[in-house]
């Protein structure tokens, strides 16, 4: 593959990630992002395959769920169904299922545990809202395997 092709793909991948970061609240599809970037869905898929660790859909889902987790803990007055809508989910049950699959807790349980942990101190980026650091999770995962 030519170096210019690699560089174009890398740029396309970075631009697609920027579109997701800015517009994750909207109902984004691969086709819409491709159109916005004057490209094709296939080219964006290739860019994700070459430079990303996940697919376009997984990248979008991860962004939405990370923002949702932050909102759940930091904004307790916002109902869960509204958090779902704010981060781009059209249906609250779909949001709850995806959230439970990712974090192992329902959004309401996550909120309750996150608030309890936040009450003891500031939540850092390196610590999950449930009080377990990344290294602790990795250590626990290695013991389980």
Percent above pLDDT 90 for the chain? 74
Look at residue 127 in the predicted model and tell me its pLDDT.
36
CATH number assigned to the domain covering 57-145 = 1.10.10.60
Average pLDDT along the chain, 145 residues, taken 10 residues at a time: 90 97 95 96 97 96 97 95 97 97 95 75 42 42 36
Q: Please state the domain extents for the chain.
A: 1-53, 57-145
Calculate the CA 20 to chain-centre distance.
Answer: 10
Residue 137: other Cβ atoms inside 10 A: 12
Q: Check: pTM over 0.95? Answer yes or no.
A: no
Percent above pLDDT 70 for the chain? 80
Residue recorded with tokens 């909207």: 26
Q: How far is CA 27 from CA 32, 54, 57, 102, 132, in A?
A: 9, 19, 11, 20, 32
- Cα of first residue to Cα of last residue in the chain, in angstroms, is 39
Look at residue 120 in the predicted model and tell me its pLDDT.
57
């Amino acid at each position: 593959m030519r170096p210019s092709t690699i560089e174009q793909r890398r740029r396309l991948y970075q631009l697609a990630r920027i579109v997701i970061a800015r517009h994750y609240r909207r109902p984004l599809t691969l086709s819409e992002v491709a159109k916005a970037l004057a490209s094709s869905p296939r080219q964006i898929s290739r860019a994700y395959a070459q430079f990303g660790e996940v697919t376009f859909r997984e990248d979008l889902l991860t962004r939405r769920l990370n923002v949702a987790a932050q909102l759940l803990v930091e904004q307790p007055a916002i109902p869960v169904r509204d958090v779902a809508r704010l981060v781009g989910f059209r249906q609250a049950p779909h949001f709850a299922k995806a959230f439970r699959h990712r974090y192992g807790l329902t959004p309401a349980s996550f909120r309750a545990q996150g608030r309890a942990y936040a009450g003891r101190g500031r939540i850092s980026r390196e610590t999950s809202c449930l009080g377990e650091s990344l290294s602790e999770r990795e250590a626990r995962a290695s013991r389980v395997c």
